[in-house]
Every structure is written in structure tokens, then in C-alpha cells.
Amino acid sequence: MPTGGSDHYDDQNVFARILRGEIPCKKVYEDEFALAFHDINPQAPVHVLVIPKGRYISFADFTQQASEKEIAGFFRAAGAAAKALGLEPDGYRILSNVGHHAHQEVPHFHLHIFGGRPLGPMLARR
């Protein structure tokens, strides 16, 4: 683990190492398709990352390369993680950074789940 996925995937990225158990994480939810864990540098009272178990670099890579089973399983897992966090009554935000314009730092596809307070406007004005 992680298995399958993109030819250009970097197996040494930090989320690959978390999936292999080489570095710890604060786990929220796990199933055969996804792992959800708390972000190490939270931007909101609740800030959780959801990652697929396969070797996908970004949202673009995942949606082009992953099987329908993996895609469905991953998004169901993300919903289950948000529910397990108790975020549904007050609401939450999901975001995925792709590439350098979005400041994607870790080249393993991930969703950010933010919650626990009113989250303000969708994007900062520059």
C-alpha cells in the first residue's frame, strides 16, 4: 500500500509514507478505499484530510485513472468521515488543491474537510 495508480507518482511523498505506516497520523476513518486523518497544521477547529489508498497524484489524476469502484468508494468514505466528525448539523467545506496555482504541496490526491466554525468567504480576494 498504496497500490496501482499513476506512473509519475512519487512513492516517497508524505501521504504514501502515512499509508505504509512509516509515519503516524491521527486517524478519523479508514476503509478499503480511503484513510482520513487530522491535518498536522489545522486551518480550522476541524481540519481533516481524506486520501485514497491508490497512487494518485491529484484530483485530475484520480478522476482520470481510478476505477469507478475506487472513485465511488473514496467519495463515500469522505462523506462517512465528515459524518463521523459530527460536522453535518452545522455544515463544513471540502476543498482539493490541484497543482501550483492552488498551492498543492503533497502530490497524493487529498480532500481537505474544514469545519467547527463559520468558514467565511469561499476564496480570499487577492
Catalytic residues: 110
Terminal CA-CA length for the chain:
40
Cβ proximity to ligand AMP: between 24 and 89 the closer is 24
Q: What are phi and psi of 90, to 5 degrees?
A: -95, -15
Using CB under 6 A as the criterion, what x/- string covers residues 32-71 for binding ligand AMP? Answer: -------xxx-------x----------------------
Name the residue among 41, 71, 73, 39 with its Cα closest to residue 56: 71
Residue 13 lies near ligand AMP (rule: CB under 6 A)? no
The yes or no reply on residue 85 touching ligand AMP (CB under 6 A) is no
Contact residues: ligand AMP, CB under 6 A = 14, 23, 25, 39-41, 49, 97, 103-106
